[in-house]
Amino acid sequence: MRILVAPDKFKATLTADQVCESIADALQKLGHVVDAMPLADGGDGTAAVVLRHGFDARTAPVVDGLGRPREGVIAWRGTDALIEMAQVCGLATVCDVPLDPWRASSLGLGLAARAARDAGAASITLALGGSASIDGGVGLLEGLGFAVLDRRGNPVSPDLVGMSQAASIEPIEIGGFWRVLVDVTSPLVGPLGAVRVFGPQKGLESREVGRVSAAMCRWAHLLERVFGVDVTQIAGGGAAGGVAAAAHAALGATIESGAEFIADLTSLRERVRAADVVVTGEGAFDEQTFSGKAPGLVISIAREIGRPVYVVAGFTEWPEAEWRSRGVAGVVTCSDAAGSPELARRESRRWLDTAASRLAQGFGPALGAVD
């Protein structure tokens, strides 16, 4: 049997490469032919995926999510550059200290993008998943050279504090084609916006949400006043704490699905068609899976083409009826194998291997459901 293994990362525990390797090993031990293809959707691991598909890596001096110097990776193909925010200044770069949503910044992304422009990039793609900040993209703009000023005409800090104080932006000419890749469809503001949905994930306290939401609304109106673009309700504008909206307004960036971008780059549809069975996976298999995430797209494509698709996940709270209604033939989870999500996270690779073995053993001639 030919099986396509196309998972995303298990966030904060395992890379897509590691997930792919465990599942592929378990299947190959039982004699299956495996097409292993780690995926991403604009978040952590996006640069690693594109570097396997025609891009080359260069480094540039940047800063992490809290402004500390580091080397950022820029993926190049000709004059096209791709920058993964998670690698440059995302949550993974600040995991050594407590979350600080007021000082976390997208400045590093702006510095990397500026370095790419200075090096001759005609097209720049910003992959925005896995961010640490909710600064509305003020850090991105300042890193690119825009002056963002307070009411006294002083430059604001490139973070949420600065965004809250911003009163004017001095636009500059930045040419080229700009694109942002997102893994969410959330708008910039409102009940489903960047602050209310993602702020708590980045350390924002519940008592601060209303205040920051109001500041984000003022920032959105400032972007509209300066650049003539209403970004308040654009799908995906809330990605990376509003970086997508700022890039769209100030740079004319298109907002695109990161999962679709990677699917096109990796010929995902053709590889699904060539397989007898498809396996995907991610850390949490839930409603968010079908709101811009790579595994959700894999499931959709497999269903469209008519291939059975299975999921290996860190955990899921969905009953069988729910995931079957989404077109999934079977689900195994690391948390079930370990006995709890906490144990599964503590020894993530061990329990992934166990879950992968359970999946492989469930592939009988009839391809029944995997329990």
Nearest to 319 by CA among 296, 365, 285: 285
For 347-371, the DSSP string reads THHHHHHHHHHHHHHT--TT-----
Residue 368 has a pLDDT of 39
Buried b (16+ CB within 10 A) or exposed e, 217-256: bbbbebbeebbeeebbebebbbbbbbbbbbbbbbbebebb
Distance CA 241, CA 133 (A): 6
Provide the 3-class DSSP secondary structure of residue 81: strand
Burial 259-286 (b: 16+ CB within 10 A, else e): bbbbbebbebeebbeebebbbbbbbbbb
Q: What is the DSSP string of 207-272?
A: GGHHHHHHHHHHHHHHHHHHHS---TT-TTTTHHHHHHHHHHHHH--EEEEHHHHHHHHTTHHHHH
Instruction: Provide the pLDDT for residue 88.
Output: 98
Rounded Cα–Cα distance for residues 256 and 42 (Å) = 10
DSSP labels for 171-204? -----SEEEEEES----SSSTTSHHHHHTGGGT-
Domain with CATH 3.90.1510.10 in the chain: 46-259
Q: Give the chain's end-to-end CA distance (angstroms, integer).
A: 20
Token digits for 106? 């997208």
Express each pLDDT in 106-142 by its tens digit.
Answer: 999 999 999 999 999 999 999 999 999 999 999 999 9
Query: What's the pTM value of the predicted model, to 2 decimals?
Result: 0.94
Taking only the tens of pLDDT, the chain with its 371 residues reads 999 999 999 998 999 999 999 999 999 999 999 999 999 999 999 999 999 999 999 999 999 999 999 999 999 999 999 999 999 999 999 999 999 999 999 999 999 999 999 999 999 999 999 999 999 999 999 999 999 999 999 999 999 999 999 999 999 999 999 999 999 999 999 999 999 999 999 999 999 999 999 999 999 999 999 999 999 999 999 999 999 999 999 999 999 999 999 999 999 999 999 999 999 999 999 999 998 999 999 999 999 999 999 999 999 999 999 999 999 999 999 999 999 999 999 999 999 999 999 999 987 533 433 44
- Contact residues for 314 (Cβ-Cβ < 8 A; gap 6+): 10, 13, 282, 283, 284, 285, 333, 334, 335, 341, 344, 345, 348
**Which pLDDT score, from 0 to 100, does residue 209 have?**
97
CATH 3.40.50.10350 location in the chain: 2-38+267-361
- Report pLDDT for 363: 76
* Residue found by looking up tokens 């970004």 in the block: 231
- For residues 311 and 286, the answer to whether their CB atoms sit within 8 Å is no
Which superfamily is assigned to 46-259 in CATH? Answer: Glycerate kinase, domain 2 (3.90.1510.10)
* pLDDT for the residue numbered 38: 97
pLDDT at 366: 35
What single-letter amino acid sits at 211?
Answer: R
CATH 3.20.20.70 fits 2-38+267-361, yes or no: no
